[in-house]
């Protein structure tokens, strides 16, 4: 008799729940079980058909598991892996969905010890403004990127298995080292979050904040949308990736100081050069992103 394929989701919210729903649709696993801190969330995930059952214990969950996805705030990764370790048998692969990778890899090495080869680090570049199992949807990863940052200890077939599982969700696999990953996301994600939070905090702290917010319009809305994200989650990311983030922040501060100089001296040509360079890059980027998304949609339909 063929063994039942079993998936364990640690954290059945938006990210873990969408992974489960996508794989259920593909019949990639016969059994999907959830573990997590909140019983209410696990009950809800079962009602929504995300998991078949909440495991009674980590031991029970890991029994016969093929794949475990950790989809919890990054600061919890080490504790979850430490719980898993005693029950982690050869043949079970663990992956994660954390937004930072260098710290996650370090945490995994501490928590898993000699079993580190069974952990394949990953990061799906997808999300929604909502959280929790109710927000989960089978198409969340369709056409999105998933970045794997494999370890030298990983078996090639295990990395390929994790990649193929994400591909079954409709995602496109990319590979970076953990350090490359963190440097890239410090620039294009973590720094913008910090900047947006800082701007809203700055405005909210002014004596005439109410007047200011009254006249804030659509440009402000788009610029600050990411400042509505979870402060706990972003505190964790900020701390976990603080070295790369500091480097990006300092480069940006230097750029702002240079622009400030042009403002003081009234150097319109220099200001326009910066703005025009940015506009050109922004337009090129949106054209290439839109054409990539179009290819994915067409590929998905063929």
293 binds a second copy (CB under 8 A): no
Q: Helix, strand or coil for residue 274?
A: helix
Q: Residues 1, 40, 156, 264: which binds a second copy (CB under 8 A)?
A: 264
Would you say 107 or 227 has its CB closer to a second copy? 227
Q: What binding mask, one character per residue, do residues 152-191 give for a second copy by CB under 8 A, x or -?
A: ----------------------x-----x--xxx-xxx-x
CA angle 107, 110, 111 (to 5 degrees): 85
Q: Residues 175, 278, 295, 297: which binds a second copy (CB under 8 A)?
A: 278
Q: Residues 283, 294, 295, 300: which binds a second copy (CB under 8 A)?
A: 283
Q: Residues 82, 153, 161, 220: which binds a second copy (CB under 8 A)?
A: 220
Nearest approach, Cβ of residue 106 and a second copy (Å): 15
Instruction: Give 266: exposed, middle or buried? Use CB within 10 Å, 0-12, 13-18, 19+.
Output: exposed
Q: Helix, strand or coil for residue 143?
A: coil
225 binds a second copy (CB under 8 A): yes
89 binds a second copy (CB under 8 A): no
Q: Residues 56, 155, 246, 297: which binds a second copy (CB under 8 A)?
A: 246
CA gyration radius, the chain: 22
How many residues can be counted in the chain?
302
CA angle 102, 240, 71 (to 5 degrees): 80
Q: What is the helix (H) or strand (E) element at residue 93, kind and residue range?
A: strand 93-96
Q: Which residues, numbered 108-147, are part of the site for a second copy (CB under 8 A)?
A: 125-127, 145, 147
Q: Which residues of 172-202 are buried (b: 16+ CB within 10 A; e: fewer)?
A: bbeebebeebbbebbbebbbebbebbeebee
Stretch that binds a second copy, among 15-23, 40-48, 149-157, 227-235 (CB under 8 A): 227-235
Q: Residues 86, 91, 231, 300: which binds a second copy (CB under 8 A)?
A: 231
Q: Residues 37, 56, 204, 297: which binds a second copy (CB under 8 A)?
A: 204
Handedness of CA 252, 253, 255, 260 (dihedral sign): positive
């Amino acid at each position: 008799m063929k063994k039942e394929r079993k998936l364990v989701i640690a954290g059945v919210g938006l990210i873990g729940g969408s992974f489960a729903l996508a794989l259920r649709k593909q019949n990639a696993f016969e059994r999907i079980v959830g573990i997590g801190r909140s019983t209410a969330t696990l009950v809800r995930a079962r009602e929504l058909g995300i998991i078949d059952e909440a495991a009674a214990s980590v031991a029970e969950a890991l029994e016969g598991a093929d794949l475990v996805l950790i989809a919890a705030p990054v600061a919890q990764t080490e504790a979850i892996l430490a719980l898993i370790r005693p029950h982690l048998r050869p043949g079970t692969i663990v992956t994660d969905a954390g937004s930072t990778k260098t710290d996650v890899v370090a945490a995994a090495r501490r928590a898993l010890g000699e079993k580190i080869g069974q952990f394949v680090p990953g990061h799906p570049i997808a999300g929604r403004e909502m959280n929790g199992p109710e927000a989960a949807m089978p198409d969340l990863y369709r056409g999105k990127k998933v970045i794997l940052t494999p370890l030298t200890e990983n078996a090639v077939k295990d990395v390929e298995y994790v990649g193929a599982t994400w591909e079954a969700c409709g995602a496109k696999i990319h590979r970076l080292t953990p350090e490359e990953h963190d440097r890239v996301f410090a620039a294009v994600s973590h720094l913008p979050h910090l900047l947006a939070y800082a701007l809203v905090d700055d405005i909210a702290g002014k004596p005439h904040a109410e007047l200011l917010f009254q006249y804030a319009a659509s440009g402000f809305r788009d610029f600050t949308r990411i400042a509505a994200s979870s402060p706990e989650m972003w505190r964790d990311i900020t701390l976990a990736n603080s070295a790369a983030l500091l480097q990006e922040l300092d480069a940006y501060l230097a750029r702002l100081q240079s622009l400030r100089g042009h403002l003081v001296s009234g150097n319109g040509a220099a200001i326009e050069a910066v703005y025009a360079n940015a506009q050109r890059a922004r337009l090129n980027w949106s054209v290439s992103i839109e054409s990539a998304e179009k290819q994915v949609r067409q590929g998905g339909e063929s």
